[in-house]
Structure 1
Amino acid sequence: MRTELVSEPGDPGRPNEDFASVGLPASGQGGSLVLLDGVTPPPGDVGCLHSVAWFSARLGGSLTELSVTRRDLPLAEILSVAIRRTAEVHAASCDLSHPRTPQATVVVARWSAELVEYLVLSDSALLVESPTGEVTPVLDNRLDLVPRAWLATDAIADATVRNKEGGFFTAAADPSVAARAVTGVLPRAEVRALAALTDGATRWVEKFEEGGWGDLFTLVRKEGAQALVDRVRTLERDDAESRVRLRRSKTHDDATVVFVEY
């Protein structure tokens, strides 16, 4: 098995708000990957004493543990338990009802000798490659349906669509959001490799349109995850003046890639 993990902050002067891990049971049978993209809040009060990076690390660590040790639980239930655990740690000190309380997008995949399970919540991506080389993206596209102008400039409008019916959902403090995730199960024989990516890495496809999902997967397999991040950084630097046209709220973003090949 080949595994590869690269995570690079968008700004070296700020903490990386992404989280990624690959978990392997002591038995050596199967494994899991976890990827989170912490949501950077706008300036101002968010009702919490803790940073987004702290939240991502807490939630990601719990997801990693549970995905390995509680193989009897489906991934949506594991996400629910992990969110509840994380909320309990800071419920006494923070306002977890605030719409900008620390939160993150989530990708979890877990495999055994027979099955591959997956879960995607919000705009991080999971790519699944078949034995014949066909690449299928697993995406939660609800955020794409929300006008970007609302999210960028209007905190009131943002509060009406964030973790609300008719809007989009992220992992924050409400365990019930796990039921909103995109989930599924595939026969292990139909999966040759997986790639999980935060939107700082998917920019190569979704913003810069350098190729499709299959092209991105081929790049990661042949040249490595770091090569993808390096190419994204080059494109960002070359296009720094046009980031508004490309719908990028910031020139660089935290970029994380996890690649697993069986």
Structure 2
Amino acid sequence: MRTELLSRPGDPDRPNEDFASVGLPASGQGGSLVVLDGVTPPADGTGCLHSVPWFTARLGGALTELTVSLPDVPLAEALSRAIARTAETHSGTCDLSHSRTPQATVVLARWTPSAVEYLVLSDSVLLVEAADGTVGAVLDDRLARLPRSALATDALIDADLRNREGGFFTAAADPAVAARAVTGVLPRGEVRALAALTDGAARWVERFREGDWADCLGLVRKEGARALVERVRELELADTERAFLGRSKTHDDATVVYAEL
């Protein structure tokens, strides 16, 4: 098995809000990957004493442990337990009911000799290469399907859409949100490779249209995760008219985890 992990901040002067890990059980049978994209906090605060990197480190650490140590617990249940564990660590000091309490998108995958499980919550992506070489993208597209008018301001998003029915969901302080994730199980023999990307890396496909998901996974396999992120950075700098980036920040934290099974 070959694995590769790269995470690069959007701004070297600011902490990276992403989290990524690969877990390999001591048995040597199977493994797991965890990718989180922390939601950048608003200027007026989150009701929490802690930073987004603090949150993603704790939630990601809990998920890394639980996906390996509890192989028979479904990924949605592992996410629910990890959210509850993380919330407990600061419920006595922070307002976890705040709409912008620290939160993150989630990609999880776990493989055993017989199966590959996956979970995606919000706008990161998991690419799955089948045994015949075809590539599919596991997406939670609820945010992408919302009309742009509903996303006009952060205030509208937080009041009407964030972690609400008819909107979109992220991992914050409510364990019940885990049931909203996109999940599934595939036979191990049908999966050749996996690639998890935060949206900062997925821009190569989703924003800049440099290729499709199969091209993206092929680039990571052939040239490595670093090559994908470097190409995204070059495209961001070249988009001086913001024809592709629009209102999005010029550089976002970009994380790629690749695993050949």
Shift of 1:124: 0.3
Instruction: Give 3-state SS (helix, strand or coil) of 1:142's partner.
Output: coil
**Contact 2:122-2:142 within 8 A present in 1 as well:** yes
Aligned position for 2:255 = 256
Distance between the aligned counterparts of 2:169 and 2:221, measured in 1? Answer: 31
Instruction: Give 3-state SS (helix, strand or coil) of 2:143's partner.
Output: helix
Instruction: Give 3-state SS (helix, strand or coil) of 2:68's partner.
Output: helix
**Contact 1:104-1:171 within 8 A present in 2 as well:** yes
* 1:153-210: CA deviation from partner (whole Å, max 9, x where unpaired): 2414432100000000000000000000000000000000000000000000000000
Compared CA separation, residues 248 and 198, structure 1 to 2 (3 A): farther
Shift of 1:102: 0.2
Compared CA separation, residues 131 and 157, structure 1 to 2 (3 A): closer
Counterpart residue type for residue 199 of structure 2 = D
Compared CA separation, residues 168 and 121, structure 1 to 2 (3 A): same
Distance between the aligned counterparts of 1:92 and 1:114, measured in 2? Answer: 42
Aligned position for 2:226 = 226
TM-score of the pair, normalised by structure 2: 0.97
Matched, 1:237 2:257: no
The equivalences for 1:20-35 within 5 A come to 20-35=20-35
Aligned position for 1:56 = 56
CA RMSD of aligned residues (A): 1.2
Structure 1 unmatched ranges of 5 or more? none
The equivalences for 1:1-262 within 5 A come to 1-148=1-148, 150-151=150-151, 153-242=153-242, 246-262=245-261
Point out the more displaced range, 136-145 or 146-155: 146-155
Instruction: Give 3-state SS (helix, strand or coil) of 2:36's partner.
Output: strand
Aligned length: 261
**Contact 1:87-1:173 within 8 A present in 2 as well:** yes
Distance between the aligned counterparts of 1:148 and 1:89, measured in 2? Answer: 36
Instruction: Give 3-state SS (helix, strand or coil) of 2:167's partner.
Output: coil
Structure 2 unmatched ranges of 5 or more? none
